Amino acid sequence: MTDDTQALAQGLNRRDPDLLDHLIELYQHRLYRYLLFLTGNPALAEDLFQETWIRVLERGHQYNAKSKFESWLFAIARNLVIDVSRRKKMSSLEDLGDPDSNQPFDPPDEHSTSALQLLVSRENQQAVQLSLLKIPAYYREVLLLRFHEEMGLEEIAAMMSTPVSTVKSRLYRGLAALKSVLPEGAV
Amino acid sequence: MTETLHIRAQKFFAQSLVEGLSHPDQSWLDQHLHECTDCVREIASIQELLHALRTVPVSVPRDLAARTQLRVRLRAQEPTLTSHGNFLLWVITGFSWFVGVLSAPLVWRGFAWVGNYLHVPKLAVEMGFVLWWAVPALFAVAAVLHQKGFNISPSRGPN
């Protein structure tokens, strides 16, 4: 345990508002992107962003500094997303908790446009980026954590409370799903 | 070139991204890609998508961080039930229970005397005695559960 993570754990235990201000500033982009990619809904991502930090405040004493702070933070955010998806039965999240069916991946309708697609397409029209939004959330999540956040397999597994083998399997399926949504002419 | 070789190359490529490849497998993949333009094109597309995943522009809404900071600060100012507070609560509860048991015969006699004096039916006196003990305890349980509801929100913890 480094001095930094120990100091972080102590600060969270004290519910230090200055520390929380700093953490919110520091992790705002990564956390918001993670929530947006998971939910596909900017308004919901905003709500969950705020709720995640409230939960960090309330449960700061549970952070033991054995894991990286960002893994703990994402785990909180992930649990909130799962709670919301269960409460609202959001089909777009396709139940993050139990995605490992043997059914083949079925690409969605080319013309369907989610709020996330609109948000991203306003800034970047490249079809290649929109392709990412066509794969199921539970694959998108592991791909994001692995290839954007550059988390290790064990780290992702700990965050998601699943075995490493499950994470690997989702990554392989996620890559296969990516292949199936490649823009025409790309392959 | 056979289909099997292409499938093997795709499998090795995915494996190299997910968990890494052994040296001989990596050499085989490199050799295959040197000879197979189809696989090179497909792998390049996936790499392009992964690159897009890393660079996709998502801007955080303006003031979201500031609004969150304000909300967190306001919540931080609300009183919480600390472990010290919890301990005190248990001590007070234990003491209250102890005194309650000791004083039960006196309270029972008091109720019997009042019932007798006011000519209240015995059943009503007994019910009054039970309520005398039960109502404060029920209020205490409700207060504790209410407090826990604020501290432990509805979902699982972050492990």
State the architecture of A1-93 in CATH terms.
Orthogonal Bundle (1.10)
Terminal-residue alpha carbon distance, chain B: 50
Residues B92, B144 share a domain: yes
Residue B112 lies inside a defined structural domain of this protein: yes
Judged by a CB distance cut-off of 8 A, whether residue B17 touches chain A is: yes
Q: How many CA atoms lie within 13 A of A90 on its CB side?
A: 20
Residue B156 lies inside a defined structural domain of this protein: no
Tokens of A141: 């999540």
Q: Which long-range contacts (CB under 8 A, 24 or more apart) does A77-81 make?
A: A77/A31, A77/A34, A77/A35, A77/A38, A77/A48, A77/A49, A77/A52, A78/A38, A78/A141, A78/A159, A78/A160, A79/B155, A79/B156, A79/B157, A79/B158, A80/A48, A80/A51, A80/A52, A80/A55, A80/B155, A81/A35, A81/A38, A81/A39, A81/A48
Residue B122 lies inside a defined structural domain of this protein: yes
Domain around B44: 3-55
Residues B86, B37 share a domain: no
> Cβ(B1)–Cβ(B25) under 8 Å?
no
For residue B63, give the amino acid letter. D
Residue with tokens 């890609």: B33
Whether B45 sits inside 8 A of A186 (CB atoms) is: yes
Judged by a CB distance cut-off of 8 A, whether residue B76 touches chain A is: yes
pLDDT of residue A29: 92
Residue B68 lies inside a defined structural domain of this protein: no
Question: What pTM value is reported for the model?
Answer: 0.67
Residue A164's CB is within 10 A of a number of other CB atoms, namely 15
pLDDT of residue B94: 83
Query: What is the rounded distance in angstroms from the CA atom of residue B127 to the CA atom of residue B114?
Result: 13
Residue B72 lies inside a defined structural domain of this protein: no
Query: What is the rounded distance in angstroms from the CA atom of residue B140 to the CA atom of residue A62?
Result: 27
Three-class secondary structure of residue A102 per DSSP? coil
* DSSP conformational letter for A60: G
Residues B93, B44 share a domain: no
Whether B75 sits inside 8 A of A54 (CB atoms) is: yes
Which residues of chain A neighbour B73 with C-beta distances below 8 Å?
17, 20-21
pLDDT of residue A89: 63
Residue B66 lies inside a defined structural domain of this protein: no
Residues B41, B97 share a domain: no
Residue B158 lies inside a defined structural domain of this protein: no
Q: What domain count does chain B have?
A: 2
* Residue B147 Cα, gap to closest chain A Cα (Å): 13
Residue B136 pLDDT > 90: no
Residue with tokens 């499998």: B11
Which residues of chain B neighbour A25 with C-beta distances below 8 Å?
65, 69
Judged by a CB distance cut-off of 8 A, whether residue B2 touches chain A is: no
Which residues of chain A neighbour B52 with C-beta distances below 8 Å?
126, 128-129, 131-132
Residues B31, B92 share a domain: no
Whether A20 sits inside 8 A of B49 (CB atoms) is: no
| A121 to chain B: closest CA residue | B57
Global ipTM: 0.76
Residues B94, B49 share a domain: no
Residues B43, B91 share a domain: no
Residues B87, B45 share a domain: no
DSSP string, B17-85: HHT---HHHHHHHHHHHHH-HHHHHHHHHHHHHHHHHHH---PPPTTHHHHHHHHHHHHHHS----HHH
Which residues of chain A neighbour B57 with C-beta distances below 8 Å?
120, 123-124
Domain spanning A105-187: CATH 1.10.10.10: yes
Residue B111 lies inside a defined structural domain of this protein: yes
Judged by a CB distance cut-off of 8 A, whether residue B52 touches chain A is: yes
Residues B49, B8 share a domain: yes
- How high is the mean pLDDT in each 10-residue block of chain A (187 residues)? 81 90 94 88 92 94 87 93 79 52 44 49 51 80 88 91 92 86 56
pLDDT of residue B108: 87
Whether B50 sits inside 8 A of A20 (CB atoms) is: no
Domains in chain A: boundaries: 1-93, 105-187
